[in-house]
Amino acid sequence: MARVAIVTGGTRGIGEAISLALKDAGMTVAANYGGDDAKAKAFTERTGIAAYKWNVGDHQACLDGVKQVEADLGPVDVVVNNAGITRDGTLMKMTYEAWDEVIRVNLGGCFNMAKATFAGMRSRGFGRVVNIGSINGQAGQYGQVNYAAAKSGIHGFTKALAQEGAKFGITVNAIAPGYIDTDMVAAVPADVLEKIVAKIPAGRLGQASEIARGVVFLTGDDAGFVNGSTLSINGGQHMY
């Protein structure tokens, strides 16, 4: 039986590349999305991957969403917590709402999805959780106290949950992408982005497929001894 994987934020950007790569690796994939119905529909038509709408920042919505995926596709073996948003601004300008929303979606989403799937993984003796952190959670980033805190939190969450899952055949790992060629990075002001790219030893932005490659590795049946690790994929921008 093919393993069933959920990729949150799985219809666009890095998430889309992950959904496609896990499908190519032989998994049955459910791509969660939070907002854009038209883009999700186009994604399903293009890829044949089912898309499911819920907000990962909403605890009950995650419980209900996973229940629906399991009813449609079977028990979930693999969760990739990829959904993330930015609400950049210096602390002086950042509203409480911009802080709260980013923490709730980016970090809370990992908790919510783990709560929805961990018991099943434990009972079946197998699970793979991959949390998408960020170089900006490792190194910090001017204008991102919310995002950097959430992503940094993801790295701690990963190491704690890895210890809880290990004896049940569940691994929990993180990937820390650098600056990847996606809509999120395209939203960074051009002059700021230019300065960032100048600091990447590879001399370019990363590709979403280069993150997906890491996810395929970490979710493989043969990756059971890789646990609690963070794989940095950032063109050498930050060596952690």
Which positions are annotated as active-site residues? 147
- Phi, psi angles (nearest 5°) of residue 132: -90, 105
- Phi, psi angles (nearest 5°) of residue 169: 80, 15
Binding of residue 60 to ligand CAA (CB under 6 A): no
Reported as type and span, the H/E element at residue 104 is none
Binding of residue 232 to ligand CAA (CB under 6 A): no
The least distance separating ligand CAA from the CB of residue 59, rounded to whole angstroms, comes to 24
**Near ligand CAA in 186-205, by CB under 6 A:** 188-189, 192
CB 174 within 8 A of CB 114: no
Binding of residue 237 to ligand CAA (CB under 6 A): no
**Near ligand CAA in 85-114, by CB under 6 A:** 86, 88-90, 93
Binding of residue 130 to ligand CAA (CB under 6 A): no
Residues contacting 226, CB < 8 A, separation 6+:
171, 173, 217, 218
Which listed residue (144, 158, 219, 237) binds ligand CAA by CB under 6 A?
A: 144
How many chain residues bind ligand CAA (CB under 6 A)?
Answer: 20
Binding of residue 131 to ligand CAA (CB under 6 A): no
The alpha helices in 50-189, defined as continuous H runs, are: 59-73, 96-102, 108-124, 135-139, 145-165, 183-186
The Cα 217–Cα 207 span in angstroms is: 17
Which listed residue (54, 111, 118, 147) binds ligand CAA by CB under 6 A?
A: 147
Q: Which is nearer to ligand CAA, 127 or 143 (CB)?
A: 143
- Phi, psi angles (nearest 5°) of residue 26: 100, 10
User: Which residues of the shown chain bind ligand CAA in the complex (CB under 6 A)?
Assistant: 86, 88-90, 93, 134-136, 141-144, 147, 177, 179, 184-185, 188-189, 192
